[in-house]
Structure 1
Amino acid sequence: MIIYPTLELHKGKCVSLTRGRLEEPVIWHVDPVETARGFAEAGASWMHVTDIDALLGEGDNADLIEEIIRAAGIPVQLGGGFRSRERVEDWIDRGAGRIVIGTMAAHDPDLVRELAKLHPDQIVLAVDIFEGHVMTEGWRSRSAFTPEDYVKAFDSAPLAGIIVTDIDADIEETDGALGVISGLAAETRHPVIARGTVRSVDDVARLKYVPNISGTLIGRALLARDVDLAEALEMARPEPEPTADFL
């Protein structure tokens, strides 16, 4: 299972959002570039970055993200405000390892399928769930899609994966979120990346054994030092299969 240490960027600062509430960000007084370097030094093979300003359509953190991509030395999975072919391809050209697409997939699914074919293993679908429906526009608009029908619509696309977030689940109620995410993981052939379920290393251990969950994003828990990244990476490593002794 892949651990994606995560940075959410808002006006050049690292923040965390509680259930997507943009008006109440938790600001972390850390250097984003040095933090990204630290993720790589701890042994992470990937990291995830969300540009909150681009998500809101209120500017972006492009220069900072480019610096993070250069400094991290590991592939960066980038999300936030991808609503056109041009922006997706621009960031692939700038060195982003993967692009996470949410709202655009609901409005123009054919374009997302085409982008996935043109850029195999570089397009990730974001599925944000609230009250049984897929949310768009940065969790602000409720679509008519159920999560199950939504992911099935992309079954034929060569996606790198699907990030699933259960917005319903309270931050303290990881059991509920895990139930929704594991249920959806059973409905798709694509590897699922869980978001919003890790508050401790024990949560990593639980996710590791859920079928078809290939990874998890960890942001707030790392920045709050509730989770040690090196320990989480060790926990996520596959265990060797037992071998039979032959006489």
Structure 2
Amino acid sequence: MILYPAIDLKDGQAVRLLRGDMEKSTVFNDSPADQARAFVDAGCQWLHLVDLNGAFAGQPVNGAAVEAILAACPGVPAQLGGGIRDMATIEAWLDKGLQRVILGTVAVENPALVRAAAKAFPGQVAVGIDARKGRVATKGWAEETDVMADDLARSFEDAGVAAIIYTDIDRDGAMGGPNVAATEALARAVSIPVIASGGVSSLDDLIALRDTGVISGAISGRALYDGALDLRTALDALA
């Protein structure tokens, strides 16, 4: 199982939100590129990036910070979500060196785009499914839908997407542990690799996710910044 350290970008800084609330953000590093280098120095295999402002704006906002991270860490693949809602933006980001784009809002509003992108860029398009009590939320988690997470995941079963990033919004940034049961159920419902996000805050959480045998990755943010989870120790344990 791959551990993805998260760098959430707001106003050019590396922050963490509590349950997706932009008004409840904590700045952890003024230099996202320096933060990325620290994660890479600890041995991470991937970086998980989120343009928080972009998720609300519907277009890239923290592009300069993302490009600085890519320049600082050329040997480590990175995936990015937030504000990626058209083919031109997808293509532009992949051209700039991102390994993978994460499509969230458009997966609900324009699934045809997801399918077209996955076909055009094999292995480089993931779907972000963010849910509260099983229902998908979009536009930076600001709008809740009647779409169920497992139904949305199944709808892309034949689309060729590289991964599904499943976030339980009520767990995100709350340091209360991930929703292992829901994530495992989703992973068993589809053949697409599923990456867990939201609430991953201890080595025990990572082991519990790994030991399901069906979850391919986990994203952790606040626990790494707060020191509750040591990245190097976690990577060694998963290895």
Give the TM-score range, shorter chain.
Answer: over 0.9
From 131, 141, 144, the counterpart of 2:133 = 131
Name the structure 2 match of 1:64.
Answer: 65
**What SS does the corresponding residue of 1:138 show, helix, strand or coil?**
coil
Contact persistence 2:51–2:62 (CA under 8 A): yes
Deviation larger for 51-60 or 187-196: 51-60
Q: What is the match of residue 158 of structure 1? A: 160
For the 8 Å contact 2:137–2:145, the answer to whether it is kept is yes
Aligned-residue offset at 1:84: 0.9
Q: Is the 8 A contact 1:204 1:235 kept in 2?
A: no
Normalising by structure 1, we get a TM-score of: 0.91
Q: Using the alignment, how far apart are the partners of 1:218 and 1:132 within structure 2? A: 20
Q: Take 2:144 and 2:33, find their aligned partners in 1: how far apart are those partners?
A: 34
- 2:26 pairs with 1:23: no
In the alignment, does 2:5 pair up with 1:5? yes
Of 54-63 and 185-194, deviating more is 54-63
In structure 2, how many angstroms separate the alpha carbons of the residues matched to 1:159 and 1:235? 28
The Cα shift of 1:131 comes to 2.5
Unaligned runs of 5+ in 1: 238-247
Contact 2:7-2:32 within 8 A present in 1 as well: yes
1:45 CA displacement: 1.1
DSSP 3-state at the match of 1:24: strand
Structure 1 segments, 4+ long, off by >2 Å, are 168-175
DSSP-derived class of the 1:189 partner:
coil
SS at match of 2:205: helix
Question: Is residue 33–residue 72 contact of structure 2 (8 Å, CA) maintained in 1?
Answer: yes
Bigger radius of gyration: 1
Contact 2:175/2:199, CA 8 A, preserved across alignment? no
Conservation of the 8 A alpha-carbon contact between 1:164 and 1:181: yes
Identity percentage over the alignment?
37
Q: Which has the higher strand share?
A: 2
Number of aligned pairs? 236
1:29 Cα offset (Å): 3.6
In structure 2, relative to structure 1, the CA distance for the partners of 1:30 and 1:232 (3 Å cut) is: farther
* Counterpart mapping for 1:188-227 below 5 A: 188-227=190-229
For the Cα contact (< 8 Å) 2:175–2:222, is it kept in 1?
no
Q: Assess, with a 3 A threshold, how the Cα gap between structure 1 residues 180 and 236 changes in structure 2: closer, same or farther.
A: same
> CA offset at residue 173 of structure 1?
3.8
Q: Name the amino acid aligned to 1:235.
A: A
CA-CA distance at 1:59 after TM superposition: 6.3
Q: Is the 8 A contact 1:78 1:99 kept in 2?
A: yes
The alignment's C-alpha RMSD in Å is 1.5
The answer on whether the counterparts of 1:178 and 1:197 sit within 8 Å (CA) in structure 2 is: no
Check if 1:35 corresponds to 2:40. no
* 1:243 paired residue number: none
**C-alpha separation between the residues in 2 aligned to 1:35 and 1:173?**
24
Letter in 2 for 1:24: K
- Counterpart of 1:197 in structure 2: which amino acid? G
Structure 2 equivalent of residue 240 of structure 1:
none
Cα distance in 1 for residues equivalent to 2:171 and 2:48: 21
Task: Name the residue aligned to 2:177.
Answer: 174
Gaps of 5+ in 2: none
